Amino acid sequence: MSARVRCGIIGCGVIAPVHAASYQMLDGVEVAWACDLVEDKARRLADKFGVANVTAEFADVLADPDVDCISVCTDHASHSPITVAALEAGKHVLCEKALAASPEGLNAMFAAHGRRGDMVFSGVFQHRFEGIHRAVKRLIDDGAFGRLLTACVHVRCLRTREYYQADRWRGTWAEEGGAVLINQAIHFLDTMLWVTGGAEAACGAYANLTHGDAIEAEDTVVASFRLNSGALATIEATASSHLNWEPTIELTGTDGSVELRGGKVLKVAFADKALGEAIAADLTAAVDRGSLEVGKRHYGTTHPEQVADFVSCIRNGREPFVTARSAAHTVRAVFAIYESHRTGKWIDIPAE
């Protein structure tokens, strides 16, 4: 059996059970701590998953010499100070999206990792593990699209006044870092940037069209990107749609195009019809059909794969499939859109 790994989950809200269940799928892994500022939340998670230790102070988790790693599942603004403290305490870190609520928070995390490069540091973007997205990335990397021309992301969802008021940090600039873009749309922006090889600059605008009495940040956003490949890309997202969850990604090249919706194949069209039929069959076969008994449907089913990769990295001393620096590129793209709205300019996006 592989070396035993003991982990702590910091933040016991809606995503924490997904992490706990994912860890418990692995041999030789123990969820040893449940931590939340509201200790009753931590206790409920502990009772459900048989976690021995409960606390309201994340310092208690980091002070345990037998803890190897933590999952950071708190509000966005606290990701940075918790991660910094954990790395400095010699703990491996798996941090939920978005890595940070501000550029300053992001920079502090990487400064800490620079001092503790021996620690595994991964950012959660579980959709990169989905078979269909891996297959699309291979098609782009292998040149199947010809020259990539455009990429588009559309995210239509509904977040109610009650959703935002359930937690004081939601929809705030200081604690969430924004709203629909940095929370819901970021997953699909990440998928688009990952499969296409990233972006060099962004220009965007946002608005609060229907949530003025509930949040201070945006519920609707549009932006354009110059991709590193030379192609152009767009994103439009809203949390005010009657379509409660409809994410779409479109990719168009000189030789073909693919459209995905909700992680499934919506359209495949290639100049070479036989090639297009083969690609459509391969993409359809790659659609994930796994299931998780915990978590919301739109989380998908690949958190267990990311958690398994994280634990494997700890055991084998290798780099994670989603490095924190790679995850940070998407977060920096989000920050660039917000800055572009405020300045009216195109904003450069730093590389990983």
234-279 confidence digits (pLDDT tens): 999 999 999 889 999 999 999 999 999 999 999 999 999 999 999 9
At 27 the pLDDT is: 97
Residues of the chain with pLDDT under 50: 1
For residues 83 and 94, give the distance between their C-alpha atoms in angstroms, rounded to a whole number.
9
pLDDT score recorded for residue 291: 59
pLDDT of the residue at 301: 84
Domains of the chain (ranges, CATH numbers): 5-126+303-322 (3.40.50.720), 127-289+329-348 (3.30.360.10)
Q: Please give the pLDDT value at position 85.
A: 98
- What does each C-alpha distance from 204 to 70, 99, 207, 220 come to in angstroms? 35, 21, 11, 11
Question: Residue 234's beta-bridge partner residues?
Answer: 152, 224
Q: What is the pLDDT of residue 293?
A: 60
For residue 98, say if its preceding peptide bond is cis, omega within 30 degrees of 0: yes
> Which residue in 290, 287, 289 sits closest to 268, CA to CA?
287
The reported pLDDT for the residue numbered 1 is: 40
